[in-house]
Structure 1
Amino acid sequence: MSDADRAGAVGAPAGGGPATSRDPRTHGLWEQTAPAPPVTAPLAGRVAARIAIVGGGFTGLSAALALARSGHDPVVLEAAEIGFGGSGRNVGLVNAGMWVRPDDLSATLGQPYGERLLTLLGDAPAEVFALVRRHAIACEAQPVGTLHCADTARGLRELQERARQWQARGVAVRLLDKAETGRMTGSPHYRAALLDPRAGTIQPLAYARGLAAAAIGAGARLFTGSPVTGCTRSGGQYRLDLPQGHVLADQVIVATNAYGTGPWSMLARQLVPVSYFNCATPPLPAALRATILPGRQGAWDTRQVMRSFRLDHAGRLVVGSIGALAGPGLALHRDWARRTIARLFPQLGRQFTSSGFAAEWYGTIGMTHDHLPRLHRLGPGMIALCGYNGRGIAPGTVFGRVLADLARGALDDGTAPLPVTGIRPPGLRAARRIFYEAGACIAHAADAR
């Protein structure tokens, strides 16, 4: 438990809205093992800034760090705590690219944006790990690649096509056969895997807290427990109202993604919210730990209801999938995780899950219809980016820098990696959320038995 929790702190989605009490299923293992966050406090009184940033996750913190390092004095407003949203809840895979295949991404965006975005995202993991080294962020960084695994013929064909498309662009991804996949995953279950050496894993909440400390050290001002409740523009400035004060800013970067409420709730409403959960075993004995992901890559598979698995620094096996650890899904998804571990890693059996997991948690992914992020101009000097589709770490980091470059004039809309688009809420948003959760429950009820 963090110092803030001990003090009785409460949290809320970044950007505004009522505070809600934290529980152990929000940040789980990451809250248990992350270094303490830098000391911050709620904003009180009147604060002036040329650039204000709303949201204290990967994107907002990366933007703050980039701006501070370039000589600016940004103000970051986080409604709850550093990394409260998806940044502190995810699996911790630092991937290159988005879910869609490279050719599909390029075709969807067209030129010049398609290849421009692929280059940015392909280099994104290297930028994450460079920041970790430069600022000595203690976040269990493992820049050793990731494994995209296939257990069916359809999945194998998917990996073969992904390998072909990346290799055509000069990327040294490698398709592994069943035997090598078994050695690198520790599981006999998969037919093949695509090894991407650009990628890796981190402890995501620790990374967010480290970015915050680096930004503060570079000159950014960061306020937590500071939800923005109103936003107006007058005389060329924005006034951001908070419970105990206000900020006057020339420009605003909105980085709230799926957790935004208050003045920018429309950003979250254009995303279909999908829950993703993780369950972590107690630390595995060294002999067993050596048989699972011995190279310490993170992994996920080609299933429609995806599975992910990785180890943390202490040898805890973290298994995750689509679904919310709430209501009827709590017991169902937890039981699925137990069965899945036993099936994927028969050397473990059930001895490490029969008495319960060491931690379990879940969060919200913001999905777009084409699985690509969105760049918006919300007003003069106000920009936003959202829709990471479950790929928040590396894209969030580089897009934070992109937003900073746009705000300080180093980029313009014509040279940005994404086109500026309007906000278009998806049809049947609530029904689609129910569909995804119900589909995950059905799949997990039947799977790995």
Structure 2
Amino acid sequence: MKNDPRSHGLWEASAPPAPPTAALSGELDVDVAVIGGGFTGCSAALHLCEGGASVAVLEAEEIGFGGSGRNVGLVNAGMWVMPDDLPGELGDVYGERLLQLLGEAPSVVFELVERHAIPCEAERRGTLHCAVGPKGLDEVRERERQWRARGAPVRLLDAEETAAKVGTMAYAGALLDERAGTIQPLAYARGLARAAIAAGATIFTASPVIAATDERDVWRLATPTGVVRARSVVVATDAYGTGVFPQIRREQVHLPYFNMATPPLGDNVRHSILPERQGAWDTKEILSSFRFDQAGRLVFGSVGALRGGGQMVHRDWGRRALARLFPQIAGIDFEYQWYGQIGMTENSLPRFHRLGRDVVAFSGYNGRGIAPGTVFGRCLARLLLGEIGEADLPLPVTDPLPAPRRALREAYYEVGAQVAHLAGARL
């Protein structure tokens, strides 16, 4: 996108075309305007239209341009925070409600994929959280205990079982989560958009909102070439939002994350690495993730930005790290390289905000945008349709507060990842 092969890489090269869209021209009146055409925005639009509302989506760039089209494609349940910690952060009611919603969220994603026949390489074979050393094993063991206490289908694997499922002896164990899986994320975002259009939504791309005016009974949203008037507004920009509601971006610290994809591997090699096609990531502070796409490319990622000196540092680290994990592909180069930004909140949990009269937003996915974005978009639709009240949401209303020392911390993450990867393939 925007003639930059490092923005969406393999996903742009392999996704089905986006549904035809154009920039907003003229004036339009709708029930709800959605700002942002990613997972949250397209899910909200789809469910609003299915509930009988008229909807216009205003996307500044292209469908799935932000984090929705750049991530590794793991459809996970829950968040990074340990399950038992959520009630302490949010209170018992919201904590348990959020856990239940996010525990069921992967099922919602895969059901939408099936119902709308979205071609997004969906694989519901689980994910593997791989333990690095004794500390990592303690972490995944505790996650298993906490999720199993809530009835989740998770299972702790020992080192031998992990090696059989991953294809390396590098890990002390792993947590297998059978709720989860993988998708081609940009293809999924485009498929949600196509489903929303089929349900009655109008999606405008290349249409950044440059002014938002509350005219008491409606909101007037202006783009460079048109105006939308709407009774309610959904702000679904998350970490990439810089327009008329910049509070969403300011409360998050950007953590850069890159992915690199090998050429399609031969059958013998593919059968020796992730033979059951789970997606995987590890417990390191500067984590690594890996999974296959449908064509047999191994997609490998970690923290870092592929710009400046970082492009060479992270590429070379990726080759060394892959060779240590999987010696059978030592020396292989990468066919695609791309990166984006993860929005991190102070407590590593998402937020629900009211940004004005009838202006609502979920944000702060902390690297877990696929399943949460999908179900939070549905929650916003139900709220605006009157099917649920604010007290029924999975998160309380909070005010967006700027993240302290945001610019300094973002620079630290980018430089720190380069330093760590320059040192070698850390396992």
**TM-score class normalised by the smaller sequence:** over 0.9
Letter paired with 1:244: T
The equivalent position to 2:383 in structure 1, one of 403, 406, 409, is 406
Letter paired with 1:184: K
After superposition, the Cα gap between the structure-2 partners of 1:269 and 1:418, relative to the gap in structure 1 and judged at 3 Å, is: same
Shift of 1:107: 1.5
Identify the residue that residue 394 of structure 2 maps to in structure 1.
Answer: 417
Letter paired with 1:302: T
Query: Per the alignment, in what secondary structure is the counterpart of residue 39 of structure 1?
Result: coil
Is the Cα–Cα contact under 8 Å of residues 304 and 417 in structure 2 kept in the other structure?
yes
How many angstroms apart in 1 are the aligned matches of 2:344 and 2:105? 20
Shift of 1:329: 0.8
What aligned pairs does 1:249-264 form with structure 2 within 5 A after superposition?
A: 249-264=230-245
How many angstroms apart in 1 are the aligned matches of 2:122 and 2:339? 21
Deviation digits for residues 122-144 of structure 1, max 9, x if unmatched?
00000000000000000000011
Is the Cα–Cα contact under 8 Å of residues 245 and 355 in structure 2 kept in the other structure?
no
How many angstroms apart in 2 are the aligned matches of 1:105 and 1:185? 30
Shift of 1:106: 2.2
The equivalent position to 2:352 in structure 1, one of 375, 378, 381, is 375
Query: Per the alignment, in what secondary structure is the counterpart of residue 262 of structure 1?
Result: coil
How many angstroms apart in 2 are the aligned matches of 1:233 and 1:414? 25
How many angstroms apart in 1 are the aligned matches of 2:305 and 2:162? 30
Identify the residue that residue 193 of structure 1 maps to in structure 2.
Answer: 174
Is the Cα–Cα contact under 8 Å of residues 319 and 330 in structure 2 kept in the other structure?
no
Letter paired with 1:132: V
What aligned pairs does 1:269-418 form with structure 2 within 5 A after superposition?
A: 269-350=250-331, 352-353=332-333, 357-418=334-395
60-69 or 105-114: bigger deviation: 105-114
The equivalent position to 1:72 in structure 2, one of 53, 77, 82, is 53
Shift of 1:217: 0.4
Deviation digits for residues 70-106 of structure 1, max 9, x if unmatched?
1112110001100000000000000000001100122
Identify the residue that residue 36 of structure 1 maps to in structure 2.
Answer: 17
How many angstroms apart in 2 are the aligned matches of 1:409 and 1:306? 41
| Percent of pairs with identical residues | 60
The equivalent position to 2:403 in structure 1, one of 398, 404, 426, is 426
How many angstroms apart in 2 are the aligned matches of 1:235 and 1:437? 44
How many angstroms apart in 1 are the aligned matches of 2:145 and 2:216? 54
Is the Cα–Cα contact under 8 Å of residues 16 and 187 in structure 2 kept in the other structure?
yes
2:212 is aligned with 1:235: no
Is the Cα–Cα contact under 8 Å of residues 210 and 221 in structure 2 kept in the other structure?
yes
The equivalent position to 1:225 in structure 2, one of 206, 222, 225, is 206
Deviation digits for residues 363-395 of structure 1, max 9, x if unmatched?
010000110001000111110111000000000
How many angstroms apart in 1 are the aligned matches of 2:168 and 2:54? 50
How many angstroms apart in 2 are the aligned matches of 1:308 and 1:226? 34
The equivalent position to 1:162 in structure 2, one of 130, 133, 143, is 143
Query: Per the alignment, in what secondary structure is the counterpart of residue 210 of structure 1?
Result: helix
Give the TM-score normalised by structure 2.
0.99
Contiguous gaps of at least 5 residues in structure 1: 6-20
Identify the residue that residue 74 of structure 2 maps to in structure 1.
Answer: 93
Identify the residue that residue 423 of structure 2 maps to in structure 1.
Answer: 446
Letter paired with 1:32: A
Deviating beyond 6 angstroms after TM superposition, the runs of 4 or more aligned structure 1 residues are none
Give the TM-score normalised by structure 1.
0.94
The equivalent position to 1:209 in structure 2, one of 190, 204, 212, is 190
Deviation digits for residues 30-72 of structure 1, max 9, x if unmatched?
0000000100000000000011000000000000010111111
Query: Per the alignment, in what secondary structure is the counterpart of residue 278 of structure 1?
Result: strand
Aligned length: 426
Identify the residue that residue 43 of structure 2 maps to in structure 1.
Answer: 62
How many angstroms apart in 2 are the aligned matches of 1:323 and 1:169? 35
Query: Per the alignment, in what secondary structure is the counterpart of residue 414 of structure 1?
Result: helix
Query: Per the alignment, in what secondary structure is the counterpart of residue 299 of structure 1?
Result: strand
2:226 is aligned with 1:245: yes
How many angstroms apart in 2 are the aligned matches of 1:209 and 1:57? 8
How many angstroms apart in 2 are the aligned matches of 1:174 and 1:439? 33
How many angstroms apart in 2 are the aligned matches of 1:22 and 1:207? 21
How many angstroms apart in 1 are the aligned matches of 2:54 and 2:335? 41
How many angstroms apart in 1 are the aligned matches of 2:355 and 2:12? 34
Letter paired with 1:215: A
Shift of 1:235: 3.3
How many angstroms apart in 2 are the aligned matches of 1:446 and 1:330? 15
How many angstroms apart in 1 are the aligned matches of 2:243 and 2:195? 28
How many angstroms apart in 1 are the aligned matches of 2:309 and 2:134? 33
How many angstroms apart in 2 are the aligned matches of 1:179 and 1:371? 32
